[in-house]
Structures are given as C-alpha cells and as structure tokens.
C-alpha cells in the first residue's frame, strides 16, 4: 500500500510595485550598487515610521479575490520578532492574526479544490551576500536594497497529495499572477516553504525553495526519503530541511521552531486598516479575464485548437503575443508559433515563456511570420530565425537575409512554371478573369503537376491570382 502524502505550501511572491512596502525607496534600481536604495525606514532606524504602500495592498486584494478568499475588512500588521542580520530592526513587519484574505480555494483540472488558508502582506528581509574570496567563510555582507520589498504570502491547507499536484497548484498560481499583472516574471522569483508529511507521521518543512520546478523536485525527493523511513519502521523527525539543487535532495537545517516561538506583537507604528465593502466590490468587478475564460474565448473567437488555446492562455504575455500576431497572419499560424515554437525555445532554457518576454520583439517576429505565411521562408527557417532572435538577440528577418534563407531561388522556378501554364491555357485564364473559381483550381492543378509537387498549392494559387489580376 502506498502511504498517503499531505503537502501544504507557503508561497512568497514579490509584488510588482515601484516602491517598497513601507517607504518610498525603489524596488528596482538602475545600478546594482549594494545599499544604495534604502532609507531610515527600510533600515529600521529608531524613530522612523512605516507608511503602507496602497498599491501593494491593492495587489494583495486582487490576488485574494482571484483565489476566492474572504476579505477581512479590518486588518492590521504585526511584528515577527527575530534576531538575524538580514532584518536590522530585529523584527519583520508582517500579518499574523488577521491577513488581507482567508479561506479561499483553487480548483485543479481534476476538479479537486485546494483550500487557501490565508493571503497576507509582508516585507522582504535584506539579502545576505556570501562573497567568496573577499571575506573569510565566517563573515558575510548585507545588502539592504531588498529590505522592505513587498511580498505576499499565499498559504494553502495541506490538501495537495503529490508533488505533481503541488506543481499544478503553482502553475495555476503563476497564471493568475500573470493575468493580474502583479508579479515581475522576469526579475522576480517565486519561493516556497513546502510542508510534507506522510499521514500519521510528523511534518517536515523544506525551507525557501526557489521556482516551480525545484519545488516539485524537492517534494519528490522528500516524499521518497520519508516513505523509505516509514517503510523501515523509523520515526520521522519534525524538522526544517533545505533543498540542494545540485544533488536534488533535502538536508537537515534545524529542528523545527513553531510560529508561536517568533513572539508576534501588534505593530504600533501602523494603524489598523479598513477596506469598505464598495471598495472591495469595485476591485472584484475590475478583475481581468483570467486564463480559463481566455482559453474558451480564443477557441470560440479564433477557431484555434483547444490545446494551443490552453497553452497560449497560460500567461498574459503569451495571450497578448498571440492576439498581436493574429492581426497580421492567420490565427492558426500565430497559435502554433506561440504555443509550440516559442514555448519550446523557452523550455529549452528551462524557463517559461513569460520569463523570456524581455527578449521577444513582437514587431520583428510578426514580420517573420508574414514571410512564412507568404511562403517566402519554410518552417525550418521560421524556427531557426526565432531561436536566433530569442537566444541570440538577432533581428529574425536580418537572420533570414544574411543567411540567404528566402525560398526565392525555388520561387523563381515556380514563377516560370506558372507563367508557362498561364500562357498555354488562355481560355482558362479568361474564365478565371470572368470570375470562374473552378478555372483557378484547374490552373493550380496543372502547375502542381508541372512542378512535380515541389511547390505548395497556396503559393501557386497566390502567384496565379497576382498574375491574372
């Protein structure tokens, strides 16, 4: 009998705001100069007073609503006390007793509902920099630029019963974040603390796992480790473990402390917040079309394959890209290119399409697709030029030109064949000019036979139409 696994996730997502959660410092910098984007508030100087960033609250509210949470109209912030160099004031401002949203759910493709316990706002600690060679291994540097960057934490109940379900949950989560446009996919990372237990045994927490793939791998490795221990009749120790990306295994970090050990107290420098019912309703009504609705619409509106529509709707970026391409070429060409070719290029780098969005120039790729639709380049060239563009930063059309990949050489041969067919079939040409569609098919058939199948029918059709205008 396989043992039943219970998994709960605590996901940390950096919100895409311009300034930090409680001060006006920028969340992104022009330069990477350490400790250049901080002030007395995010450094935690005595006497400094935090002020809540309304945009971050608005983003958290949107996420909570999209995940069917109950919104707490009154909520406040708490101090989570701990001593560590990454938090100079010795506490982190977070939400504990009453978060922005609670009791929500996410539905997986199987119809199973994963309950969301809470969604709350908190500040990111500073970054500890272990610079090899610069200092001895007993020292490290602290960069406070990250200190105070807004995060939301999304906590599930332990309803996930396999690493694959956890992955599907995270895919759902990132799709929603993408549509709400609250997460910076290119520069931000999704981190999760993963709790896993085998029913009837102690629970183990795998701390701070970065990215969806690593979460799945960490859980797979941990489920295997615990199952083997249980099979051998051993006890599972309640502890916190870390995930090693190289060996794909988890290692003991420390014995688990409980949440209560942190000693939460009410944050006296921030007043209690209130969200009015009309305010909440306004945000709810303003939520954008989410991925499942979008997939249905794309099938209905553009007649593209359901599978492609699902992939394209997987991110706001892919969806917008498709709709942009579909203005210039047929929806079929656009959908196959986005859902298969571009996605494959991203996956080849171990990334999602959204994560490479900054390297995709829609205008240049649109031009490339038009060449493909007009049969001036073949499918192989289309893919090669797309790779040269995304991976090598090359204008894809320049790539085709410089490498002489236009089918024009073959094109001129086909043009000769078409001219020959037209001049020796003047009656059919006259009929075609008079509007007889059957003559067009007749002439296409003749040219196809003459080219011995080398030409594509749509290419010949287009040439005949041009020449008999």
Nearer to Zn ion, 41 or 326 (CB): 41
Nearer to Zn ion, 53 or 339 (CB): 53
Smallest gap from Cβ 107 to Zn ion, in A, equals 39
- Residues 38-97, interacting with Zn ion (CB under 5 A): 39, 41-42
Nearer to Zn ion, 41 or 444 (CB): 41
246 burial type by CB count under 10 A (0-12 exposed, 13-18 middle, 19+ buried): exposed
Stretch that binds Zn ion, among 33-41, 109-117, 280-288, 339-347 (CB under 5 A): 33-41
DSSP 349: T
Distance CA 326, CA 233 (A): 60
Smallest gap from Cβ 20 to Zn ion, in A, equals 5
Smallest gap from Cβ 41 to Zn ion, in A, equals 5
332 burial type by CB count under 10 A (0-12 exposed, 13-18 middle, 19+ buried): middle
Please check whether residue 151 is in contact with residue 22, taking contact to mean a CB–CB distance below 8 angstroms: no
For β-strands 203-210 and 239-244, DSSP reports them as parallel
Smallest gap from Cβ 85 to Zn ion, in A, equals 17
Nearer to Zn ion, 22 or 169 (CB): 22
* Using rule CB under 5 A, residue 25 touches Zn ion: yes
Nearer to Zn ion, 45 or 135 (CB): 45
* Using rule CB under 5 A, residue 21 touches Zn ion: no
| H-only helix segments in 18-162 | 54-66
CA dihedral angle for residue 358, residue 361, residue 362, residue 368, rounded to 10 degrees: -140
Residues touching Zn ion: how many (CB under 5 A)? 5
58 burial type by CB count under 10 A (0-12 exposed, 13-18 middle, 19+ buried): middle
Distance of CA 132 to the CA centre of its chain: 32
Nearer to Zn ion, 24 or 286 (CB): 24
* Using rule CB under 5 A, residue 23 touches Zn ion: yes
Stretch that binds Zn ion, among 22-30, 45-53, 223-231, 286-294 (CB under 5 A): 22-30
Smallest gap from Cβ 17 to Zn ion, in A, equals 13
Nearer to Zn ion, 79 or 118 (CB): 79
Distance CA 63, CA 59 (A): 6
Distance CA 431, CA 240 (A): 81
* Using rule CB under 5 A, residue 160 touches Zn ion: no
Site string for Zn ion, 404-433 (x = CB under 5 A): ------------------------------
Q: Compute the C-alpha angle 259/263/265, nearest 5°.
A: 120
Smallest gap from Cβ 49 to Zn ion, in A, equals 12
Q: Cα-flanking dihedrals φ and ψ of residue 151, to 5°?
A: -125, 150
Nearer to Zn ion, 90 or 252 (CB): 90
Among 206, 196, 174, residue whose Cα is nearest residue 13 = 174
Smallest gap from Cβ 354 to Zn ion, in A, equals 29
Footprint on this chain of Zn ion (rule: CB under 5 A) = 23, 25, 39, 41-42
């Amino acid at each position: 009998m396989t043992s039943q696994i219970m998994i709960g996730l605590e996901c940390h997502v950096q919100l895409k705001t311009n300034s930090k959660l409680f001060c006006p410092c920028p969340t992104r910098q022009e330069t990477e100069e350490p400790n250049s984007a901080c002030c007395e508030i995010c450094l935690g100087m005595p006497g400094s007073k935090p002020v809540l960033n309304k945009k971050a609250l608005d983003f958290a509210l949107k996420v909570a609503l999209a995940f069917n949470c109950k919104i707490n109209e009154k909520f406040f912030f708490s101090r989570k006390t701990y001593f560590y160099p990454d938090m100079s004031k010795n506490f982190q401002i977070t939400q504990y007793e009453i978060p922005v949203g609670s009791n929500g759910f996410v539905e997986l493709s199987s119809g199973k509902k994963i309950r969301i316990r809470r969604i709350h706002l908190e500040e990111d600690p500073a970054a500890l920099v272990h610079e090899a060679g610069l200092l001895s291994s007993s020292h490290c540097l602290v960069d406070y630029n990250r200190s105070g960057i807004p995060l939301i934490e999304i906590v599930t109940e332990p309803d996930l019963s396999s690493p694959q379900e956890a992955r599907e949950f995270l895919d759902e989560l990132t799709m929603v974040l993408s549509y709400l446009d609250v997460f910076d996919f290119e520069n931000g990372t999704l981190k999760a603390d993963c709790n896993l237990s085998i029913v009837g045994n102690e629970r183990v927490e795998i701390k701070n796992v970065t990215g969806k793939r690593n979460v799945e791998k960490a859980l797979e490795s941990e489920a295997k480790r615990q199952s083997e221990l249980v099979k051998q009749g051993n006890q599972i120790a309640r502890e916190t473990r870390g995930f090693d990306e190289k060996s794909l295994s988890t290692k003991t970090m420390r014995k688990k402390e409980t949440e209560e050990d942190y000693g939460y107290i009410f944050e006296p420098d921030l007043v209690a917040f209130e969200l009015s019912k009309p305010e909440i309703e306004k945000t709810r009504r303003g939520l954008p079309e989410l991925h499942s609705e979008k997939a249905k619409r794309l099938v209905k509106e553009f007649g593209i394959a359901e599978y492609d529509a699902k992939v394209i709707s997987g991110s706001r970026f892919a969806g917008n890209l498709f709709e942009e391409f579909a203005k210039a070429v047929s929806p079929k060409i656009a959908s196959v290119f986005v859902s298969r070719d571009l996605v494959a290029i991203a996956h080849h780098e171990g990334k999602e399409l959204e994560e490479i969005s900054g390297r995709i120039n829609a205008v240049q790729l649109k031009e490339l697709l038009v060449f493909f639709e007009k049969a001036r380049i073949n499918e192989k060239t289309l893919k090669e030029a797309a790779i040269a563009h995304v991976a090598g930063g090359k204008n894809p059309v320049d790539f085709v030109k410089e490498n002489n990949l236009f089918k024009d050489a073959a094109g001129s041969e086909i043009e000769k064949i078409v001219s020959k067919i037209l001049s020796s079939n003047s009656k059919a040409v006259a009929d075609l000019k008079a509007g007889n569609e059957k003559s067009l098919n007749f002439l296409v058939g003749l040219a196809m036979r003459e080219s011995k199948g080398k030409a594509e029918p749509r290419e010949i059709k287009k040439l005949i139409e041009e020449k008999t205008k």
